[in-house]
Each structure stands twice: as structure tokens, then as C-alpha cells.
Amino acid sequence: MHRFSPGLFGVQCPEPFYNLDISTGILPEFVLKDQLLDSLTSINCDSCWFEVLSELCCRCRLAQQAESKKALDFACLYQYTVINLAGILAGEYSEYIIMKLDPIFPKNQTPTDLKPEWVDLGFKFGEKGAHTSRTIMLAELSGLLHQCPATASRPDYVRALIEDNCLGKHTLSTRKLTLQRLSELYALDPDVTLFRLMRVLWDSDEKARPLLALLAGLARDPLLRATAPVIIAMNEGEEIARQKMTEALRDAVEGRLNESILDKVVRNTASSWTQSGHLEGRSRKRRLKVKPTPASTTFALILGYMLGLRGKSLFDTLFARVLDSDENELTFLAMDAKRLGLLDIKSSGGMTVVSFDTLLKDQERRRIHGTN
């Protein structure tokens, strides 16, 4: 039986139901009643999510057999929670289903090469993503990370957004929705390796932040990834062809999104590429060439490293290609990153070795090496 990791939900166990609701806003408001919340969190938090679902079903049946109105009310709440949680599990489990033509895979890899460890590290797969409703939300991410120290935990980010309203949202539901989208895109959890690394690099180089946000978004949103080849292929100054973006998305999801949703994803992804610096303009967007820094180069290289790539192949991943620099330029930037203590790179006899011992924890290195 599969045990879901925190990276799948972008939340940290224990207290799965409390964190799940606060971070996603998926369950209705009345499910947050203290009585039901206490009942839910009384379930063994170490249980597999499917076991939790089964336990909820049992409690629902017991409540339905009782005669009091209060018990029947609980039965309805349990039933609604089961339905929602089952849908969440089904959606998250689909992250093991690979989107057709996912550009995250090198040409010599196939979708069947997907490893669960990649999800544990923070990558997301499947045919859904935050860009059906939002962009990479650079302004919101910047505001949140400005308010929270580098040592912040998942609950600290939740508290800053929900209780402290650090982004100045007008309603509680808007704050919850913002937290949900930012969690989908970035996890906002230092126990998720991908976010932890982005946060370290974020604090080290302010100029790198738009590209750091984009790279994290590419790692965690398959829909944004699907549009990357279109952007990469554009020449500087060229006007973006919305039809090419639409066709790329349609081919990737194989018709599973209707035309109105596709159009919305095109608008949102175009906005994200504008926030990252790849495009400029409003109604008519033209291609710009971005200028990577040692920090953004480090993040692009380590994302490939986390997926099991080594040596020169790190300079030819999707993440490296969106930096608009060739292998020689990226190598020089990697050398600068080495001087800053972000990575180690050695070249000899046509061989290149890149390592990240200063950035990765021992447990993270063991997990990554297990993907080779």
C-alpha cells in the first residue's frame, strides 16, 4: 500500500486534515467545526491516507446508525469529507501519471522512467497544475518570503498568510486560496527539498528571484512545462503566437482540457513567462532574453541533478535551456557559483563533474543518489 509523502500534498504531517484544509481551502467551511476537527485529528496521523479514508467511512456508517440529530449531522460531515478527501487523493495520485510529451524528460528518457523519489523531492507530474487559475504569483511569493525568515517552517508560512495576512488580502477565503496556489507551486515547506533549495538561493541573490520562481514553477506545474518548448524556440524580439502555446498544451494533455480552460492556461502561462523576464508587453508579448545569475544557474543545474542527470547533461535540461545561455556561458556562471560556495564543478579531458555537497543535506543526497 502506498504511503503518501508530504511532497504530494505540499503539506507536512502530522495534523493532516487541519493542514490540508487550511492550505488548500478545498473542504467547505463547516468542516472546520472544532468538534469534527477534533474527531478527524484523533485518527492515527501515521496511518496511510487510504487507511484514514477507510476509518472515515467506518465512522460515517456508525454515525448514520445512531438516532440523534447530532450524530446524523456528523454522518453528513463525514460523508462530505470522505468525498472531498477521496477526490484529493485521486488527484494527487495522478501525479504518478505522466503527461504526454512532458519536456522535463531528456530525449533518452521515457515517461516510464518516473521515480516516486522525484515526487518526494518536490517535483510534480500529471496533467493538472496551478496555471488553470493562477500564474507563478511572483509578487505574492516575494511578499511572503520577505515576511518570513529563512528558518520559517510550514506552519510559519501558513500563519503569516492566514492569521497575519501579510499580503493584505481582503477576505479569509482569498487568503486561503492564495495559500493553496502558492503551496501548489512552491510547497512552502522546508521539508520539501525543492522549496528548501529555492529559499536558500532566494536569500542569496535578489536578481535571481524571477528565474528561481519560474524554475520552481516548471518543476511543480506540468502545464507551465508544456509551454516551455514554445518559449525556448522563440527568437529575441519575436511576438508570441498564442496558437502555438494552445497546440502545445492540447497535445500535452491529449484533449482533457476544454477550449475555455486551455485559453485561460495560455493567458496565465504567458503572464508567468512575462514575470520571469522571458516576455514583455501586455496584449502583444515579445520575447526577451533573460540574464541568469550564479544562483539561478545553480538552481537549474541542481534540479537536473535531483532527476538523476550528471555531468554535461545538466547543461541541457529543460531548466538549463530556459536560462537562454549556451553550455559555455552556463559553465562560466557555474564557476562563479563555485566561488560563491554554491556548488563544485571540475572539468578535465572533456569530462565535467558537478556536485552540490554544500547545498544538500545528507538525507537529501541519499535520496537523490537512489534515483540513479
Strand partners, 354: 345
pLDDT digits (tens, 9 = 90+) for 165-206: 999 998 988 898 899 899 999 999 999 999 999 999 999 999
Q: What is the CA radius of gyration of the chain?
A: 22
For the chain, 372 residues long, the average pLDDT of each consecutive 10-residue run is 32 33 34 41 45 60 61 58 53 52 71 74 85 93 95 93 92 89 92 96 95 97 94 95 92 83 93 96 92 97 94 94 95 95 89 93 86 45
Amino acid identity at 356: F
Answer whether CATH 2.60.40 is correct for domain 124-287.
no
Q: Is 277 exposed, middle or buried (0-12, 13-18, 19+ CB in 10 A)?
A: middle
**CB-based contacts of 235: which residues, under 8 Å, 6+ apart?**
287
Whole-number pLDDT of residue 59:
62
Whole-number pLDDT of residue 64:
59
pTM above 0.85, yes or no: no
Whole-number pLDDT of residue 251:
87
Cα atoms in the 13 Å half-sphere on the side-chain side of 30: 7
Whole-number pLDDT of residue 151:
93
Strand partners, 280: 286
Tell me how crowded residue 80 is: count the other CB atoms within 10 A of its CB.
Answer: 16
| SS3 call for 323 | coil
Q: CB–CB of 298/342 below 8 Å?
A: yes
For residue 254, what is its C-alpha cell?
Answer: 491529449
pLDDT digits (tens, 9 = 90+) for 297-313: 999 999 999 998 999 99
Q: What is the fold, at CATH topology level, of the domain defined by 294-369?
A: Arc Repressor Mutant, subunit A (1.10.10)
Dihedral sign computed on CA atoms, order 76, 78, 80, 83: negative
For residue 28, what is its C-alpha cell?
Answer: 467547505
Q: How far apart are CA 33 and CA 17, in angstroms?
A: 12
**CB-based contacts of 236: which residues, under 8 Å, 6+ apart?**
287, 288, 289
Whole-number pLDDT of residue 255:
76
Whole-number pLDDT of residue 372:
44
Of 146, 121, 162, 134, nearest to 23 (Cα)? 162
Tell me how crowded residue 322 is: count the other CB atoms within 10 A of its CB.
Answer: 24
Q: How far apart are CA 185 and CA 309, in angstroms?
A: 23
| SS3 call for 348 | strand
Q: CB–CB of 320/233 below 8 Å?
A: no
Amino acid identity at 119: V
Whole-number pLDDT of residue 3:
32
For the chain, give every domain's residue range: 6-96, 124-287, 294-369
Grid look-up 538561493 returns 201
